[in-house]
Amino acid sequence: MKNLSYLLFLLAFLPTFAFSQNLAEKLGYPADAKLLIIHGDDVGVSHSQTKATFDAMKNGVVNSTSMMVPSGWSAEVGEMAKEMPNADIGIHITLTNEWLNFNWGPEAGKTAVPGLTNEKGHMYPDCAQVTANASPEEVEKEIRAQIKAANQMGIRPTHLDSHMGCIFYGRPEYLASYLKIAQELKIPAMINEQMINGIVKNNPVLFSEIDVDKFPLVNKIIMAEPKDYESGMDIFYADELNNIQPGLNVILIHLAFDDDEMNSVTKGHDFFHAPWRQEDYNFFTSDKARELVEKNNVKLVTWREVGKAMQF
């Protein structure tokens, strides 16, 4: 999670207010409602991550998550989801493996998608290496393999999103496969106006069979940067909740416990490590977070609800 370009990408989301006004009304809210998804990424990467996330969904204000299928603890997501049958769980499409000592290969198998593996058979640590080595066909095959595996674990995804943003940085064909598969499944895929203007409109033939207009666009994604962690996560998240604007917003967080397991997984990383994830957990299970949501008249919505408003 040290991919700086990923952070910059998320912060570059452009306004799409006109669509979100319509979305708010479809969901039964006033046109100027402040819609918010509080989304915990990376379930399945570790027991600590999955347990903390499901606990925050039960006892805090976190209301959405997405799973990393190729990682070692993904099967536990299906087990924990049995306790929350209506949980909002998507697929965190995983094309990379950024950790030092905790490694995995593609769900489709290294023989089927050799361009997604390094010389050890593991996924590459960053998106640039994925783009340089993985063909569009291999990426689509891997996306489908991850969804199929999640289905076999009992997960019917409510949406798609992308680990480290590799779907969005890579070849435009990656995004086309991502949207095409979401359209087949009739579920949302996290996209924004920047992607539409910068990728879709520049590749009209590639996206000709995808009804892009039916996908809800995110107005703003909020994610803490290293400087926010250093200055205090409570301060950062409180300020963001106090300044939420109308439209569809997503607070993207990573919840885990600061325990031996998570410290081992995140070894060698100065940020997005176990202490960072504990801070996310602490804030979004606090009374303060709940009070700020209520005080600012923020309407918590899920990808499942957004999906029902789509007209495929």
Q: What mean pLDDT do residues 44-61 have?
A: 98
pLDDT tier for residue 1 given thresholds of 50, 70 and 90: low
Residue 4 has pLDDT above 80, yes or no: no
Residue 41: which residues within 8 A CB-CB, separation 6 or more?
Answer: 65, 66, 92, 161, 163, 252, 253, 254
Q: Check if the beta carbon of residue 172 is closer than 8 Å to that of residue 196.
A: no
Residue 90: which residues within 8 A CB-CB, separation 6 or more?
Answer: 64, 65, 66, 67, 157, 158, 159, 160, 161, 187, 303
**Beta strand residue intervals within 189-266, DSSP E:** 220-222, 247-253
Q: CA gyration radius for the chain?
A: 18
pTM, rounded to two decimals: 0.92
Which is higher by pLDDT, 19 or 150? 150
Query: Mind listing the pLDDT tens digit for each residue in 95-105?
Result: 999 999 999 99
Residue 180 has pLDDT above 80, yes or no: yes
**Cα–Cα–Cα angle for 49, 55, 61, rounded to 5 degrees:** 110
pLDDT confidence of residue 311: 77
Residue 247 has pLDDT above 50, yes or no: yes
Q: Tokens 């977070």 correspond to what residue?
A: 289
pLDDT confidence of residue 22: 83
- Quick one: what percent of the chain has pLDDT higher than 70? 93
pLDDT confidence of residue 10: 44
Q: What is the C-alpha to C-alpha distance for residues 123 and 152, in angstroms, rounded to an integer?
A: 22
- 238: tokens are 């409180």
Q: What mean pLDDT do residues 76-85 have?
A: 96
**Lowest-confidence segment of 1-10, 57-66, 175-184 by average pLDDT:** 1-10
* Buried-state track 248-258, b at ≥16 Cβ within 10 A, e below 16: bbbbbbbbbbb
Residue 160: which residues within 8 A CB-CB, separation 6 or more?
Answer: 66, 90, 91, 93, 143, 178, 181, 182, 187, 188, 189, 190
Query: Mind listing the pLDDT tens digit for each residue in 254-284?
Result: 999 999 999 999 999 999 999 999 999 999 9
Phi, psi of 22, deg, nearest 5: -65, -40
pLDDT confidence of residue 312: 72
pLDDT tier for residue 5 given thresholds of 50, 70 and 90: very low
Distance of CA 203 to the CA centre of its chain: 24
Q: What mean pLDDT do residues 119-141 have?
A: 97
**Cα–Cα–Cα angle for 46, 52, 56, rounded to 5 degrees:** 145
Q: Which of 198, 242, 201 is nearest to 222 (CA)?
A: 242
Residues in the chain: 312
Residue 215: which residues within 8 A CB-CB, separation 6 or more?
Answer: 179, 182, 188, 189, 191, 310
pLDDT confidence of residue 20: 46
Q: What is the C-alpha to C-alpha distance for residues 173 and 137, in angstroms, rounded to an integer?
A: 9
Q: What is the C-alpha to C-alpha distance for residues 11 and 6, in angstroms, rounded to an integer?
A: 9
Q: What mean pLDDT do residues 26-55 have?
A: 97
- Quick one: what percent of the chain has pLDDT higher than 90? 91
Query: Mind listing the pLDDT tens digit for each residue in 194-234?
Result: 899 999 999 999 999 999 999 999 999 999 999 999 999 99
Tell me the DSSP string of 61-82.
S--EEEE-TTSTTHHHHHHHHT
* Domains with residue ranges and CATH for the chain: 4-309 (3.20.20.370)
Q: What mean pLDDT do residues 282-305 have?
A: 98
